[in-house]
Structure 1
Amino acid sequence: MKKLIMALISATALMVVPAAAKDTLKIAAAPYGLNAEFMQIWTAALKEHPAVKNGDVTLTVFDGRYDALVQQDQFKTMATQKFDAIIFVPIDVEAGAAAVQTAADAGIPVIGSNTRVNSNLLSSYVGSDDTISGYLEAKAVLDKIGCKGNVVIIEGPIGQSAQIQRLKGNQKALAECPNVKVLEQQTANWSRAEAQTLMENWLTAHPNQIQGVIGQNDEMALGAIEAIKSANLDVKSFAIAGIDGITDGLRAVKAGEMTSILQDARAQAQGAMDLAIFYAKKGDYKPESDIWQQYAKQMPWNGGKDKEYNVPWTPVTAENVDALLATRK
């Protein structure tokens, strides 16, 4: 019967089945989408959590397909299938609240991760402060152009918490450079291809006028780089920054083409999994991931009772980029 139930889960779900049959917890992960590398790294980290690998947890991953309504429908499936806990990465800070309410009505604890939702029903949250990363990336661009000139901002999906908070950070840095003008500001929905198209249009509309590119993630910064190269312009004559530290972003940093701020997907995912198990077991659990030792000073476990855990950001530099690249398969 258990196999039959799991077979009926939405076709968008991917299940990690334990090697041996045992009394396992059923935990769902609901990321907003799986097309881009960052969420692929995040999902892979969940699958590598000790409790998943040893069979204590059956993990089912639902692909939200970048659609708030899809995520809401998936939460209804999770409620029907009586999951023990849910790890939620919402596409929309407001619309995601309805999904959390569905889980709460079913008595299922929800742990937020990576992006935020405006709901007081979350059991806990593990992510990073996007305002900080937005400030750091914009400051890197503004420092390179000497706090004068023109920049463009490529935003994430409008209404997602990362877009909202990173823009606040961008604006804080820009306020420190009143002589810098924002020529264009538009979303590319975390997409490299959409960002490339935007940048191609902007280079045509503002020839020789753009000095800096603030991309709210690495994918979009890389799309801008492709547009600049396609226009036969010198990438290194632009100040370009992104966020996440995805593999191609790290390579671009190593090549001197951009700046990136590493977001630790592994720590966010495995920290959220530990908390999901903690709440599913009603507190009878000690964390198994090594991320709590890695960030013991900045992000202590505190008995699992904190409502929010913020994973620190790591600026990617010439000194640490090779070590970071070595962690990628």
Structure 2
Amino acid sequence: MIQRLVKRALCALLGVACLALSASCETNNPEQQIETVRIGVATYRSDDTFITALCDDLERVSKQMESETGKKIILNIADGKNSQSNQNDQVDNFISRSYDVICVNMVDRTVAAVIIDKAKRADIPVVFFNREPVEEDIRMWDRAYYVGTDAKESGIMQGQIILNALKKDAGIDKNGDGKLQYVMLEGEQAHQDSLIRTEYSVKTITAGGVQMEKLANDTANWQRSLGTAKMTSWLDQFGDEIEVVLSNNDDMALGAIDALKAQDMLENGPVVVGVDGTLAALEAIQNGEMLGSVVNDAQLQAQAMLDIACALTEGSDPQQVVEGMNGQYVRAPHRIVTKENVGQEIAYLTQSE
């Protein structure tokens, strides 16, 4: 009888000890100590080559920052499917789930005030990227930011690629009339980068003392397939009169190259220049199919977006800690890429893959 009582007492004590140990383990569980940063990312469309690359960089850089800081970074990337209504709903969802920061690649840059008002009322900072809202909207709230580039710089550099090439090869002016006959593939008509790149690429060439004669221009909405369709039509209309193809982005430029290949006009045909420095474009430059591009550095922009987000969640002023920040803006510098330095750019782009 006594032995049984002793056994029961020992079992009870052991049970209490196990519960205490379990509670202690739960309290000291390192998983519960990890700071979590939740970031909602709303893109205008997921099938845009540059936006896809930037989102891939966001995922990669967030993993690096997790290992460096010990924080848990959760990214929720939503596809707006080129619908502002869809994007508004996605932002509402991020707000309802109390995300720490919201990043938005606007479908319609002219209505950013709606997003800012939503974010301000919820007191959730918002970082716009790639598609720049009008300045008056950004100034509505000191916790609204923009990460992107200087579109004027990209247009100037695109023009410089043509000027530099002409110095090396006057044969780009195939008919020898002292002018460059060109076609222009434009992005969305209302997109500020499209308008500015179009203007300054041509201005830079003419300011360099080279006359330009526009044969045609049209929008291809940043898309390779539409670039092919437009270029095919122009080749049917102008044939080998076209000496230069200026494109607001690489995908449309690659579409033009596809059209040239289809008509067996790539060799000794017009030179083609794009903007973005995507991997497909860099490979086309390396292969001699494309004259050059202007690198739109997605990696730098992804890093800046995450740096802003982490600074905000820590209670820091991003303007004091984020490299290259000027007020509420971060603008990543562009770089010219041609066959001379394309290997270096490919290495940079693929270093973390």
TM-score (norm 1): 0.82
**Aligned pair count?**
299
Partner of 2:333: 312
Cα gap change, 1:197/1:210 in structure 2, threshold over 3 Å: closer, same or farther? same
Partner of 2:60: 48
Supply the distance in 1 between the matched residues of 2:195 and 2:113 (Cα, whole angstroms). Answer: 16
Is 1:181–2:210 an aligned residue pair?
Answer: no
Paired letter, 2:309: A
Supply the distance in 1 between the matched residues of 2:254 and 2:211 (Cα, whole angstroms). Answer: 26
Deviation at 1:175, TM superposition (A): 4.4
Partner of 2:84: 68
Aligned partner of residue 134 in structure 1, secondary structure? helix
Match of 2:195 among 161, 164, 167: 164
Partner of 1:133: 154
Deviation at 1:36, TM superposition (A): 3.0
The superposition leaves residues 203-228 of structure 1 with CA deviations (integer Å, 9 ceiling, x where unpaired) of 11222221111111111100000001
Do 1:254 and 1:321's aligned partners in 2 also have CA atoms closer than 8 Å? yes
Identity of aligned residues (%): 27
Do 1:127 and 1:311's aligned partners in 2 also have CA atoms closer than 8 Å? yes
Is 1:36–2:48 an aligned residue pair?
Answer: yes
Larger RCO, structures 1/2 (Cα 8 Å, 6+ apart): 1
Paired letter, 2:184: I
Aligned partner of residue 225 in structure 1, secondary structure? helix
The superposition leaves residues 108-161 of structure 1 with CA deviations (integer Å, 9 ceiling, x where unpaired) of 111122220122236322211111112221342365445613111111122123
Is 1:223–2:255 an aligned residue pair?
Answer: yes
| Higher Rg of the two aligned structures | 2
Do 2:266 and 2:289's aligned partners in 1 also have CA atoms closer than 8 Å? no
Cα gap change, 1:187/1:285 in structure 2, threshold over 3 Å: closer, same or farther? closer
Supply the distance in 2 between the matched residues of 1:130 and 1:278 (Cα, whole angstroms). Answer: 27
Aligned partner of residue 311 in structure 2, secondary structure? helix
Cα gap change, 1:39/1:221 in structure 2, threshold over 3 Å: closer, same or farther? same
Supply the distance in 1 between the matched residues of 2:331 and 2:159 (Cα, whole angstroms). Answer: 21
Partner of 1:14: none
Residue pairs, 1:281-296, within 5 angstroms = 281-283=314-316, 292=323
Supply the distance in 2 between the matched residues of 1:204 and 1:242 (Cα, whole angstroms). Answer: 22
Cα gap change, 1:223/1:20 in structure 2, threshold over 3 Å: closer, same or farther? farther
Do 2:116 and 2:144's aligned partners in 1 also have CA atoms closer than 8 Å? no
Supply the distance in 1 between the matched residues of 2:195 and 2:180 (Cα, whole angstroms). Answer: 24
Residue pairs, 1:1-329, within 5 angstroms = 22-49=34-61, 50-52=64-66, 54-118=70-134, 119=137, 120=139, 121=141, 123-141=144-162, 144=166, 145=172, 148-173=179-204, 175-176=206-207, 179-258=211-290, 259-283=292-316, 292=323, 299=324, 306-326=327-347, 327-328=349-350, 329=353
C-alpha RMSD of the superposition: 2.6
Deviation at 1:174, TM superposition (A): 5.1
Do 1:117 and 1:161's aligned partners in 2 also have CA atoms closer than 8 Å? no
Structure 1 unaligned segments of length 5 or more: list them.
1-18, 293-298
Supply the distance in 2 between the matched residues of 1:161 and 1:99 (Cα, whole angstroms). Answer: 19
Paired letter, 1:271: A
Deviation at 1:202, TM superposition (A): 0.9
The superposition leaves residues 31-67 of structure 1 with CA deviations (integer Å, 9 ceiling, x where unpaired) of 2222133212211111122335654321111112223
Supply the distance in 1 between the matched residues of 2:196 and 2:109 (Cα, whole angstroms). Answer: 11
Do 1:212 and 1:238's aligned partners in 2 also have CA atoms closer than 8 Å? yes
Supply the distance in 2 between the matched residues of 1:101 and 1:174 (Cα, whole angstroms). Answer: 42
Partner of 2:21: none
Paired letter, 1:37: T
Do 1:123 and 1:279's aligned partners in 2 also have CA atoms closer than 8 Å? no
